[in-house]
Chains A and B, each alone.
Chain A
C-alpha cells in the first residue's frame, strides 16, 4: 500500500478538521470529494507530511513519516500541489520547476531532462523561459502541477488541480492523471465531479472531517438514482444524496 491511514484525526484548537479517517490506497487515481470545510485539504496536507496528525497512524510508501529519515525518503518520492500555490514571480517556469526538483533531492544529472519533460507534460514547453509573474492563473496551476510531477512521484497529491484550467487543458490533464495512476497513487481533491468521472477509478466523499462514501464513480452515481437529490449530472446527484443521507444521520458507506 502506498497510503495507509488508520483513525487519522487532526484538530485545530476546538475544531476537528479530520475525524478518524481510515483509508488504504495503492496505485490508481483517487478522487477526494466534499463540500467546503469537509477536511479534504487537511487530509491531503497530512499525507503530504506538511501537517502532523493529532492522532491515528499514517504510513506512506511503506514508511512512518513520524521519523525524520523515513519522512525525508517519502518526500523524495512525493508530488504535492497545494490548494494555494505560492510561487516566486521573478522565477521563470523552468527555474521554478528546477528549483523544486533540486529541493526534492533529485540526482542533479537527471534534473534538466526531468524538468523539460514535466513542463512539456503540462503543455508549457513554449513558456519555459517566461517569468511566472506574466502567466495567467491557469498557467500557474500547470506550473504547480509540473513541479509536483517533476520527480515522477510514487504518491501524487493534488489539491484542486484543475481550478482555472481551460477545457482543453483539463482533458489533457485527466489523461496525464490516468497515466500516472498506472504506476503511482494519485489523490485528487476536487469540486469538479466531471474530473472524478473522467479520471478517477475510485472516489472518496468527505463531510465534517469523516469519510462518508468510498467506491467507484459508478457506485456514487447509483447512490443518486431515484433519490430525488439535486444535481445536473448523475455524479452530482449521487454526491448530493450521500451528503443528505450523512447529514440526516444515515451513514452511506459501501
Chain B
C-alpha cells in the first residue's frame, strides 16, 4: 500500500561540530553525578585506613619504609581494585540491564562516545579518590616528618592500575550485561590481585615484574634518600596497564553499532596500540636486571638516576665518629651507642676503624633479605655501614635491642675479615669473643646469629630466626670460651699479633690460645 502526503518543510539543524566538546563535558557532568562509585567510597576509605594506612604507621619514619606496604606491595591497589572493577562493570552493563539499548541506538551520538563518557566518569571517581586518599596519607606522613622523597612513580603505577581495572571492568560489563557481571568482575579482580601478589612473592625477575602488586624490585633500601627512586620498572608497568586500559576501551568501539567507520577504525587502532603497549611493557620487564639500586631496564634506564643524591652527612660521637646520611639523622644516637662497646673492644688493634660512615645498601631482590655485610676499608680504616639494608627499630618487627645486636655483630664480623660468608671457624670464634666483650654473652650468640645474621649465613647457622634457644656448643664456642678466658691484655696482644693471619683465613681453631 502506498500513501503519499505533502512533503514537509526541511529544517536545518545547527552544525554540531564546534559544540562536541561542550556536549561531551555536559554528558560527563551528568555521568559524574549519577555514577555508582561515590557510594562505595566510604567502604574503600575504611579499608584503605585499616589496610593501607594503619599498618604503615608501625614503620620507621622513612618514605621507603612507610610506603613499602601500601605502595611497594600494592595494598593500596588491592584496596581499590575489586571495588573499581565491580563498579565499572556495573556502569558498563547499565544500558543492557536497564533496557535502554534501543533508545541509545536511535540517538545520534556514537554508542562508543556514550560509553566512553560513562567510563570516564567512573575512572575520574576511581582515580580521583585514589589520588585524594593517597594524597591525604602522604600529607599525614609529611606532617609526621617522614624522611626522604615520596615514591611518586609508584603512586602513578597505582593510578594506572586503577584506570586499567576500571576499563577492563567496564568493557566486561558492556559486553556481558547482567546483574551478576559486577560481583563477578569484583571477585575476578580480587583473585587477579591475589595471584599477582603470590606470583610476585616467588618471582624476582622476568615477566612477573610487570604485575602491579609484585613487590620485588619496587622498594630497594635507601631509595629516595641516598639514591633517586628508579623509574624503570614503574614506566614499564604504566605502559602495560595503560595499554590494557586502551585496548579494553578500544574493543568496545569495534562492533558495527559502536559508531561510524572512522570511529571504528580509531577503535581498532586504539585496541592494537593498547595491546602493543601492554606487550612492550611485559617485554621490557623481562629484560630487567638487578642493579645496585633497584631493577634496571636497559631500554628505559637513565644513568642520571645512578648518581647519589648529594647530601652532607650528619655526624656524632667523640673519638669514634659515626656519620649518617641526614635522612637517617634520627638513627644517629642509637647507632653511635650501639657501636660504642665493640669500638672499645677493638680499640688499638691493627685495622680498627677510626670512624663509621653510612654506605648505600645494595639492592637484593626477594623476601627475607635481612641485611648486608659491613666493610672496613681505607687508610685510616673506616667502617662502612649499609644502614638501609639493616634492621631499623620499628621496621618489620625489629626492636632497639635487635638492631644494636646486629650492628655489633656485623662490626665484629667485618673486623675479623669474614666478609659476606659465615667466616672460618677461627674467625667465628674471635667474633664471638669480641661480641662477648661488647656485652653479648657467648651463650646468647647462636640465637643472635640466627635472628639478625646475614641471609648468606643461614646454611651455616640454621637460621634465620630460631624459635627455640640454641646452645652455644661445639668446637667454635669451646675455642671462643678458651680465648675469652685469657686476661684482657693477653687476649689483646694475641689479637694484635694474629689479626692479619686471621683475616686471611690462615688460622685454625687449634691455633687460638
Contact = CB atoms under 8 A, between A and B. Distances in A.
Q: Do chains A and B interact in one complex?
A: yes
Interface of A: 1-2, 22-28, 45, 48-50, 61-62, 68-69, 72-73, 75-78, 80, 82, 84-91, 95, 98-100, 102-105, 107-111, 147, 152, 154, 183-185, 202, 204, 211, 213-214, 253-254
B103 A82 contact: yes
Residue from B10, B103, B259 having most chain A Cβ neighbours under 10 A? B103
Interface pairs A-B: 4 shortest CB-CB: A86-B99, A86-B100, A26-B5, A103-B107
Contacts of B16: 76, 105, 107
Interface residues of B, number: 41
Interface in B5-39: 5-11, 13-14, 16, 19, 22-23, 26-27, 30, 33-34
B106 A80 contact: yes
Contacts of B22: 108
Q: Is the interface of B mostly helix, strand, loop or mixed?
A: loop
A214 B1 CA distance: 7
Nearest to A74: B108
B98 interface: yes
25 contacts: A2-B7, A24-B2, A24-B3, A24-B4, A24-B5, A25-B3, A26-B5, A27-B7, A48-B105, A49-B106, A72-B260, A80-B106, A82-B102, A84-B99, A88-B34, A90-B34, A95-B33, A100-B107, A102-B26, A102-B27, A104-B108, A105-B109, A108-B26, A152-B11, A213-B1
A22 B2 contact: yes
Interface of B: 1-11, 13-14, 16, 19, 22-23, 26-27, 30, 33-34, 94-95, 98-110, 114, 259-261
Contact of A104 (B3, B4, B107): B107
A110 B6 CA distance: 29
A102 B13 contact: no
Contacts of B13: 76-77, 107
A75 B13 CA distance: 12
Given A77-B13, A98-B30, A102-B27, A27 B106 contact: no
Contact of A91 (B14, B34, B103): B34
A84 B101 CA distance: 11
A2 B26 contact: no
B107 A75 contact: yes
B33 to A, nearest CB: 7
A76 to B, nearest CB: 4
B108 A76 contact: yes
A22 B1 contact: yes
Contacts of B6: 26-28
A45 B109 contact: no
Contact of B1 (A49, A84, A108, A211): A211
A23 B106 contact: no
B1 A50 contact: no
A99 B30 contact: yes
Given A107-B16, A214-B1, A50 B8 contact: no
A102 B31 CA distance: 12
B1 A253 contact: yes
A49 B102 CA distance: 9
Residue from B13, B33, B110 having most chain A Cβ neighbours under 10 A? B13
Contact of A154 (B11, B30, B109): B11
A88 B260 contact: no
B103 A1 contact: no
Contacts of A48: 102, 105-106
A27 B6 CA distance: 6
